[in-house]
Structure 1
Amino acid sequence: MTLAPLFAVPLRRLFFAMAFAGGFGSAGAQTATLTTTTSQLSATGGTVTFTATIAYSGTPSALGFQVELPAGWTYAGGTGEPSIKPDAGTTGTLEWAYTGGFGVGASSFDFTASYPAGLSGVQTVAASAVYRSPLINLAIASVTLAPVSAPPAAPPSYTQGPPDRIVPAGSGTTFSVVVEGAPAPTLRWQYSTDDGQTWSNLTEGGDFSGVTQSTLTVAAATTGLSGYRFRTLASNAVQADVPSTSALLTVNAVAPSATLTTNASTYAAAGGTVTLTATIAYGNEPTSLGFQIDLPSGWSYEGGVGEPAIKPEPGTTGALEWAYSSGFGTGSSNFSFTLRYPAGLSGDQAIAGAAIYRTPLASLALAPVVFARAASAFETWQAARFNATELANLAASGPQADPDGDGLPNLMEYALALEPKIADVAGLPVASIAAANWIFTYTRPVDRTDLIYVVEVSTDLATWSAAGVAHERIAATGGTETWRASHPLAGTPALFFRLKVATAP
């Protein structure tokens, strides 16, 4: 015996057939809506996402939602949908049904429908919903969407042409246009070397970029480009090669200039080295370049970095010369070199010279670089303890002056880390006897490397000598050292010590 199926149509079809056959019950607090954030459609087709919501005051036993798509529309999928839902690609009538999983106070889901290109007229998406129990039909306001008509075809037209540009040699610049048309035009930049009589297409690369874009970029304009004109040709399906107005590029040559620089401003009394950088800047690439530097007496060339092939020999004194015949930098050429100077210099030391640029021939004076003698450690100590008037008066602040009258000249005060304006008692050397030796002990700062300390002895205060004196450091604490000088007692019933200091050469 063959049994007929319980339902002749799928469950959801039966559900909706019952629901929409007639109204049962009263809508009461139950409502349904279909919403979207889209109001207009694209002429080229696309998708629209809708939100379906059923709100209620109680707890339903089942819910249903039905949507009628316009012709040509298809269901593309959804988010948060009930288990009974359309198959992807469904057209016409779409149906969803809840038999469980209801939200508190409302149930909602999103779904997306795709539409074709070329639609015309208002597109209406109709919907209805059902709530049970009791069974209630819920009317839903339709969603209407206006299609966007494709703009009428139009040939290219310019609302802004490229502007003329005046730039210094070596700098970059841009030319831009604003063009309209339907469909959107393509662009091609061209140049003319004969004031617009003939035109050639630009090639992407080198100094030019954006040759098919609305903005053309010139990376580094040379004087060779001065007088060039630039324009675009715009093309679309309606009309090809519509020219823009042209723009004139003027490139002003940069006058060559030369500099000599250094990051140092002083030289050390003990001698040392300084490094300088020589630079020639120009607009047009030269055919040759030259540098000449005159050194002060006692100074010499040690070597350099990035120098041209023609350069001085290490140890050269007096006049130094460099020459380029190739390998020029873009916009400028430069190199660094190191000089050695001797100890014992005094006064300002000036490094001067000139540069040569050609073609055309131009002699470029170099502003001198002046090095002042760096203050010695003793001079720094003086400046911290004497005012300007006292510093100008060597009888008060000089190395042999004794402004506090304690018998210690300023150089000795500096050597022992004492104060020159306070008569010192503490911190002075001490004489004693230990075992078979006369002992002379004193303290001095660790950092007095610019001084030479000598301990001498005498038996008559007339003749002094360091012979027989053992002089050694015996302790160091923090920034202070303790030194001891010793001399045998034998043969010297009486002995005098003295400490002498002098600046190191």
Structure 2
Amino acid sequence: MNYRIAYERAVNVTASGLAMVVQRLPLIKNLTPIFGATGGSHFAAPLAVTFVGTHALSGQSIMLQQTNTIEPTDVVEVELGEAFQWEFKATRYNILSFGIVNDSGTEQLPSGIVAIGPQSGIGTIGGIPEEAGTFTLTITGYRGNNQRSSQTLPLDLTLIVKDPVESPFKVFMSDYFSAEELTNPAITGPVADPDLDGIDNTMEFVLDLNPLASDSMPGAIGLDSNDPQMLRYEIPLNGFATETMVGFEESTSLESGWQPASGGVVERTDTMIVLTAPLVGKKFYRLKVIVEE
């Protein structure tokens, strides 16, 4: 009987075969509408902020003042997908309208964010952020219903939206690459191979290898000590890849016909996956990984 291991570029090792492939699954986030008719949205602790600079009629300077905290702030930090609301008003009169301009000089708010009011002189910015990042919103309040009326001094609100759920794969890659490199899928994408060792970044993560250094395929193959008629192949795994789907497929050809390994037994722990298969006939085995980005 002839057995051989074939992985990635079908390099012959010994007896049976291993080829590695990766399938990417999109990470889907469910978002909940805000300000629904039922009023069922749950908000983070709101920041009721009072602002205004110079009164356009009197010319008198007015200090920025926040009404619900000892330490006033114009910086709001929330997490991606977390509902929030931020309230503001002028100190000398009730504003009847307000305008908001973003970093680019347009009135477009970040995705998932809305502006409401004013109601009884109080304006509200809130929603459920759908994109992470830092956004500067310049707010100007008006005494009348149009932007030709008396106005407040513009206030810059900094909204910081953080992504609380960094995938283990992204955390792993951040240990080896710069922030700029992490934005380049040709370098740090799941199927990229920056060290040109034939093992892509997904496999580097699952096998806990260095994506910047050429590595050989890890693992040990031999006869099962409990049954010499069985082949045993052990592959160490990254302990942080426990949520990643890892398994074996088998085929009688490297080109096609791959199916979940049924002729053997696959056992997986947090740090190891083991294939035990009978030494009968000719078969190839490959390690299959499905990772969420």
1:362 corresponds to 2:151 = yes
Q: Which residue of 1 aligns with 2:236?
A: 443
Q: Which residue of 2 aligns with 1:305?
A: none
1: distance between equivalents of 2:133 and 2:90? 31
Q: 1:472 to 1:367 in 2, by over 3 A?
A: farther
Q: What is the CA deviation profile of residues 53-88 of structure 1, one whole-angstrom value per residue up to 9, with x for unaligned ones?
A: xxxxxxxxxxxxxxxxxxxxxxxxxxxxxxxxxxxx
Superposed displacement of residue 504, structure 1: 0.8
Answer yes or no: is the 8 Å Cα contact 1:262–1:277 preserved in 2.
no
Q: 1:353 to 1:254 in 2, by over 3 A?
A: closer
- Tell me the C-alpha RMSD between the 2 structures: 5.0
User: Where does 1:58-69 land on structure 2 (aligned, <5 Å)?
Assistant: none
Q: 1:369 to 1:391 in 2, by over 3 A?
A: closer
Q: 1:273 to 1:440 in 2, by over 3 A?
A: same
Superposed displacement of residue 403, structure 1: 1.6
2: distance between equivalents of 1:324 and 1:291? 14
- Secondary structure at the aligned position of 1:456 is classed as strand
Q: Which residue of 1 aligns with 2:208?
A: 417
Answer yes or no: is the 8 Å Cα contact 1:444–1:481 preserved in 2.
yes
Matched residue type, 1:263: E
1:408 to 199, 203, 206: 199
Q: 1:261 to 1:485 in 2, by over 3 A?
A: farther
Matched residue type, 2:81: T
Q: Which residue of 2 aligns with 1:286?
A: 94
Superposed displacement of residue 413, structure 1: 1.5
Q: 1:287 to 1:504 in 2, by over 3 A?
A: closer
Q: Which residue of 1 aligns with 2:252?
A: 459
1: distance between equivalents of 2:98 and 2:178? 49
Q: Which residue of 1 aligns with 2:176?
A: 385
Q: Which residue of 2 aligns with 1:218?
A: none
Answer yes or no: is the 8 Å Cα contact 1:294–1:351 preserved in 2.
no
Highest relative contact order (Cα 8 Å, sep 6+), 1 or 2? 2
1:501 corresponds to 2:286 = no
Report the TM-score, using the length of structure 1 for normalisation.
Answer: 0.33
Q: Which residue of 1 aligns with 2:273?
A: 483
Q: What is the CA deviation profile of residues 1-29 of structure 1, one whole-angstrom value per residue up to 9, with x for unaligned ones?
A: xxxxxxxxxxxxxxxxxxxxxxxxxxxxx
Q: 1:411 to 1:354 in 2, by over 3 A?
A: same
Matched residue type, 2:119: Y
1:323 to 97, 118, 123: 118
2: distance between equivalents of 1:468 and 1:379? 29
Q: Which residue of 2 aligns with 1:262?
A: 76
Report the TM-score, using the length of structure 2 for normalisation.
Answer: 0.50
2: distance between equivalents of 1:441 and 1:499? 11
- Secondary structure at the aligned position of 1:362 is classed as coil
Q: Which has the larger radius of gyration?
A: 1
- Secondary structure at the aligned position of 1:369 is classed as strand
Q: What is the CA deviation profile of residues 174-211 of structure 1, one whole-angstrom value per residue up to 9, with x for unaligned ones?
A: xxxxxxxxxxxxxxxxxxxxxxxxxxxxxxxxxxxxxx
2: distance between equivalents of 1:273 and 1:471? 41
Structure number with the higher strand fraction is 1
Answer yes or no: is the 8 Å Cα contact 1:417–1:445 preserved in 2.
yes
2: distance between equivalents of 1:277 and 1:322? 12
2: distance between equivalents of 1:387 and 1:350? 23
2: distance between equivalents of 1:358 and 1:392? 45
1: distance between equivalents of 2:119 and 2:187? 56
Answer yes or no: is the 8 Å Cα contact 1:256–1:282 preserved in 2.
no
Q: Which residue of 1 aligns with 2:14?
A: none
Q: 1:421 to 1:282 in 2, by over 3 A?
A: closer
Superposed displacement of residue 285, structure 1: 3.8
2: distance between equivalents of 1:294 and 1:471? 56
2: distance between equivalents of 1:387 and 1:261? 27
Matched residue type, 2:238: P
1: distance between equivalents of 2:180 and 2:124? 45
2: distance between equivalents of 1:340 and 1:393? 24
Answer yes or no: is the 8 Å Cα contact 2:76–2:158 preserved in 1.
no
Answer yes or no: is the 8 Å Cα contact 1:275–1:336 preserved in 2.
no
Matched residue type, 1:401: D
Q: Runs of 5+ in structure 1 lacking a partner?
A: 1-169, 171-222, 224-250, 302-318
Answer yes or no: is the 8 Å Cα contact 2:134–2:158 preserved in 1.
no
Identity %: 16
- Secondary structure at the aligned position of 1:381 is classed as helix
Superposed displacement of residue 390, structure 1: 7.6
Answer yes or no: is the 8 Å Cα contact 2:87–2:124 preserved in 1.
yes
Q: Which residue of 2 aligns with 1:80?
A: none
- Secondary structure at the aligned position of 1:401 is classed as coil
Superposed displacement of residue 384, structure 1: 2.8
Superposed displacement of residue 339, structure 1: 0.5
Matched residue type, 1:254: I
Q: What is the CA deviation profile of residues 32-57 of structure 1, one whole-angstrom value per residue up to 9, with x for unaligned ones?
A: xxxxxxxxxxxxxxxxxxxxxxxxxx
Superposed displacement of residue 410, structure 1: 2.9
Q: 1:277 to 1:467 in 2, by over 3 A?
A: same
User: Where does 1:102-501 land on structure 2 (aligned, <5 Å)?
Assistant: 252=60, 254=62, 261-264=75-78, 272-286=80-94, 288=96, 295-297=109-111, 299=112, 319-325=114-120, 337-341=126-130, 350=135, 352=137, 354=139, 356-358=141-143, 361-362=150-151, 367=157, 369=159, 371=161, 377-386=168-177, 399=190, 400-401=192-193, 403=195, 405=197, 407-424=198-215, 427-428=218-219, 430=221, 439-448=232-241, 451-469=244-262, 474-475=268-269, 480-485=270-275, 489=278, 493-501=281-289
- Secondary structure at the aligned position of 1:460 is classed as coil
Answer yes or no: is the 8 Å Cα contact 1:457–1:465 preserved in 2.
yes
